[in-house]
Structure 1
Amino acid sequence: MEKWTSLTNTYKKRQQAYVMIKVIDILLLVVSAFLLLYIFILNRDTLLQMILIIFIIASAAIFLIYHYVATKKQALAQTTAIEKLVLLNEQGQEVQEWSLTDETSLLIGKKTVDYQPEIDLSHAEYAALINTEHALLNCVDGIWYVEDIDSVNGVGIRKPYRHLTQKLKQENPCAIGYGDILYIANTKIIAK
């Protein structure tokens, strides 16, 4: 129960941080709009206007370069074949791995008398949060997809070029690529 409370608090803190980031983004947008209005309409100082134009162009160039690099990383991750899944502990150390060679479909969950998942997380650190049938991996045309099977604590995926984890909607498959981290409840599995 104590672990569950801790995980719930962590989730709430992440949600609050996400909302705070959105609020800051909106405030920055409003301040920027007023600044542009002041500099280009109310103020006639051409030096200040030129400095702002140079700043805007430099910012746009940095954004485009960042976006280009992220897109290239995403394309590389999607074209690199996944050969295995690796279970990570809280320190990021590899604990167990499962080969995906010659596989087309794998069930992720906990082993019981009635269920025998191919990826058994019964001994993972957060096994109490994992359903017996938690998620499903399917390979279609060489691309692996993960799908949440109506689990209580959900499935998340974090791309190697992103900072936020995307929570999957139930029964809505999501493609996974090389370097992606799957969150089965709070258990981390990396695709390699």
Structure 2
Amino acid sequence: MLKEIKALIKDRFFNRTKQLREQAFEIHDHVIRIETDTYFIAKAMIPDIPEILNVERSVYEGQTPWDRAAFATELRRKFDRLYLVIRYHDRMLGFIGASFDDRTATAHITNVAVVPDKQNRGIGAYLLKTMIGKAEYIGYKKMTLEVRRSNVRAQALYLKMGFEKTGVKAHYYFGDHEDAIDMTLTLTQKD
């Protein structure tokens, strides 16, 4: 009997979480306003990958930390991954990606990038707030990310948004083996 009750509770919790995640992942392409500019935000799709790689090249001095195959794999995982792109007219200015783990009630920012000439205009913050809102809607407890030790501007943004530094991953990044700072945000629980 206890086993059946546990199974029922687990089924109801995970089904509810699954329903909330499906609702949170529904993205209707729409126009948004950040400060004085109007942008278009949409769920990333496979045809967006070349532009996503171009955003990476502009941010990472000609490099693409993730390749076409890595992004394709992520975008095919519609159950536990969400990627968004933001455009100004037809130009992709940035993107964000996150993984969602129902078992730990944790969302993890896998990627976030905004082209250098459009940074410090609220675009990155908007993308982060959107993902935070999705995780809170589902009822997750926390959001995590890694950031390069040298990327003090990004760290400042994350700290401003409520993330805390929670650790260091030594030699984390491929290529230059720079350390990563682990950061965690405790999410607001819904009533």
Q: Same fold (TM over 0.5)?
A: no
Larger Rg: 1
